[in-house]
Amino acid sequence: MACKVFTIANQKGGVGKTTTAVNLAAALADRGVETLLVDLDPQANATSNLGFDKEEGRSVYPALMEDGNAAEMIIETGRKRLSLLPSEVDLAAAEIELSQKENHLAQLSLALQPIIDSDDYQAIIIDCPPALGMLSMNSLASADYLLVALQCEYLALEGLGQILSVVERLHEAEVNERLEIGGIIMTMFDVRTKLSREVVQEVRSNLPELIFDTVVPRTVRISEAPSFGQTIFEYDKGNPGATAYRNLAKELIKRFELK
């Protein structure tokens, strides 16, 4: 079965993007999908969320600079079927250095291709920086599907149109014509507020074919788990957030035929 590459991107920070990347990857692995999580954010939050420290020289950065092998940077997480391509602070330099390369939007795609061709993974999940800079654009240029993590608030809706238009521009520029909008994941849903319900309803009304049925709730336990280097399943497997990410993984497996 061909490996499918998903990028979780949003130009806005604090929308649950990294939390979703980590816990969705873990949930897919738990359901039998060989999964690689790629931390493309120089802040390395996904790396620390899985309990690993930033290690100089261990990231996709050398491969982006055509001076290394991305596959050699992959580490086993100690969790069955879940591997990690970690991040480090040097990755921040890639934002500037990539722009100086002739084929600047294709570097991540070139770096990941040997991993994809290896057939070691059924799904690759890429966690992007909270900005549509060079790293995020490389991620979009290398992915089969964009998953948009969208916080349940009205201001988040303003940014949705922007990132969807970026996909159109990549198609028009023939940078990545296979890229599709894989779906919209509603995050940080607060059951106590009318606003959260209204935002979900608006997205469902306007983009019914894109929004996932699963809505990820805002819970303290989801926020706490990264500080212990754990997924929500390890930290509090009975939490509503854990249930949500399990259900989201089921939807992803069915929608994209991952098994």
Q: Where are the domains of the chain?
A: 4-254
75 to each of 132, 134, 147, 178, how far by Cα in Å?
Answer: 27, 25, 24, 29
Sheet holding 4-8, edge to edge: 75-79, 82-85, 35-39, 123-127, 4-8, 145-151, 180-189, 211-217
Compute the mean pLDDT over every residue in the chain, rounded to the nearest whole number: 92
pLDDT at 156 (0 to 100):
73
pLDDT, tens digit, 9 for 90 and up, residues 59-68: 999 999 998 9
pLDDT at 192 (0 to 100):
83
pLDDT at 32 (0 to 100):
97
- The fold of the 4-254 domain, in CATH, is Rossmann fold (3.40.50)
The rounded percent of the chain whose pLDDT value lies above 70 is 98
pLDDT at 184 (0 to 100):
94
Confidence of residue 14 (pLDDT cuts 50, 70, 90): low
Name the helix (H) or strand (E) containing 249.
helix 240-256
Burial of 240 (0-12, 13-18, 19+ CB in 10 A): middle
Does residue 77 carry a pLDDT above 90?
Answer: yes
Confidence of residue 1 (pLDDT cuts 50, 70, 90): low
pLDDT at 11 (0 to 100):
64
Say whether 6 sits in a helix, a strand or coil. Answer: strand
pLDDT, tens digit, 9 for 90 and up, residues 159-179: 788 888 889 999 999 999 999
Does residue 74 carry a pLDDT above 70?
Answer: yes
pLDDT, tens digit, 9 for 90 and up, residues 210-220: 999 999 999 99
Q: Give the mean model confidence (pLDDT) for residues 32-36.
A: 98
pLDDT, tens digit, 9 for 90 and up, residues 91-147: 999 989 998 988 899 999 999 999 999 999 999 999 999 888 999 999 999 999 999
Does residue 240 carry a pLDDT above 70?
Answer: yes
Here the tokens at position 258 are 């991952």
pLDDT at 117 (0 to 100):
95
pLDDT at 125 (0 to 100):
98
Cα–Cα distance measured from residue 19 to residue 182, given in angstroms and rounded to the nearest whole number: 18
Does residue 13 carry a pLDDT above 70?
Answer: no
pLDDT at 143 (0 to 100):
97
